[in-house]
Amino acid sequence: MFWDHDDDKPREECGIVGVFGHPEAALLTALGLHALQHRGQEACGITTFDGEKFHNERHMGLVGENFGGNLTERLPGTSAIGHNRYSTQGKPALRNIQPIFADLASSGFAVAHNGNITNARALRRDLIEKGAIFQSTMDTEVVLQLVARSPKPLMRDRFQDALTYIEGGYALVGLTNKKLIGARDPIGLRPLVLGKIGDGWVLASETCALDIIGAEFIREIENGEVIIISEQGVESFYPFPKRPESPCLFEYVYFARPDSIVQGRSVYEVRRRMGHQLALENPADVDVIVPVPDSGVPAAIGFSEQSGIPFQLGIIRSHYVGRTFIEPTQTGRQKSISKKHSPNRAVLEGKRVLLVDDSIVRGNTSKKIVQMVRDAGAREVHMRSASPPITHPDFYGIDMAAQSELLAATNTLEQMREFLKVETLGFLSVPGLYSAIGIERDVNLPQFSDHCFTGCYPTRLVDHQREESAKDRQLSLLD
């Protein structure tokens, strides 16, 4: 992997958009992907259908860098799907950019997905043994291969048949010559919403993508639901046994844009209440509350409101510096980190400063920010995390450090405090996070997937378990 392992943040998932029945489908898809750029900055792609043939563009880089100009001429059609990518399965490469497309016996079929199929490698091995030829290393291509090999006569049934083989967390959009298809995994780990614009329909990862194109939010796609949009309207199917919904808590903690609505809740308001709760659980005797920008801002505002301690922008973030994880060398990454955050000395000098961030993963960037604040003249530096300690990795589409590299998995609170070199350190509790969302955690009925904080994974981890078994066998041979 070439991600910046100094970055404290879990790497984003992916963003998906689908449009059906609109003359500017490609343009709307590009605008929707732009709104979802925070979910993946490595690459982007759009596939359209113009009534006769499919058109496809895939590029490394950001949406605005690649999908401007005469877009509707390059990608004509009234239906489209698009994708923002970062790597979970499959390294950065042009062949691994979605949507992925193939000509099937009945029609062309394009598919894009957000999340991670936890048995993708097992399925891939089985498909290759049966003669399948893969063109990429993405888990998304497994879906395409399963659809292609399904014996069902109708594309709708072939798609649903393919879903019965896959496990994990996913939201999918698919495009045929007649239909736009969407699906969420059986417990709804990954998000997907439905919107309407004029006579057309939109599927997207978040409501902010609907807002940017002026689409009306209709509803969230339900967990385990397959939605088929055609000229006949919208149909829903449920190919799985009904299970309680258990979406990923990280949508509230970090991934979703603050102006999005998730499960009827404002993400911004939830994060602000996380700050309220954090102040109640971990008060601090300081002069000023300073967010680690930008993701720590809502929680820092909430902490300030609850505690009465002034909120100040003590760290200024440049929005014109490339993301650190795409720098090609370690030296380049370190320089980018220093260019990304600048201390506001007028706020920090001589003050007892409380830094509020949304989460701490490895801790390396947090440590550098603490030192930067001290160098700017802060008398004391304290730190609070608006999420619980991250003790377990994710396997559902969040690229995160291995468990041995997670700061909270390998250190006590005091050891973490010493590593970060802060006067005090505190984390929001798991019950406190649920309280900020507005519910009480029920250990017997998981309302959310909180595996990164508790280790309680909601599905089988087939590929991971096989890898661990293989490592154990190798170690036993060495003994």
Residues making up the binding site: 295, 357-358
Give the C-alpha separation, 327 to 463, whole Å.
30
β-pairing, 54-60 with 43-49? antiparallel
Q: How many CB atoms lie within 10 A of CB 240?
A: 16
CB 288 within 8 A of CB 315: no
Tell me whether residue 14 is one of the annotated catalytic residues.
Answer: yes
H helix runs in 136-295, sequence order: 140-149, 155-163, 207-213, 250, 267-281
Check: CB of residue 257 under 8 Å from CB of residue 212.
no
Residue 383 near residue 420 (C-beta atoms within 8 A):
yes
Alpha carbons 286 and 380: distance in angstroms, whole number: 8
Given the residues 14, 44, 208, 452, the one annotated as active site:
14
- List C-alpha distances in Å: 430 to 255, 262, 390: 18, 19, 10
- Start-end of H helices in 105-206: 120-129, 140-149, 155-163
Compute the distance between CA of residue 262 and CA of residue 247 in angstroms, rounded to an integer.
Answer: 10
Tell me the sheet residues that pair with 181. Answer: 174, 228
Query: Do the strands 193-197 and 200-204 form a parallel or antiparallel pair, or are they unpaired?
Result: antiparallel
Measured distance between the N- and C-terminal CA atoms of the chain, rounded to whole angstroms = 30
Mode of pairing for the β-strands spanning 288-291 and 233-237: unpaired
Q: Parallel, antiparallel, or unpaired: how do β-strands 288-291 and 352-357 relate?
A: parallel
Residues marked as catalytic: 14
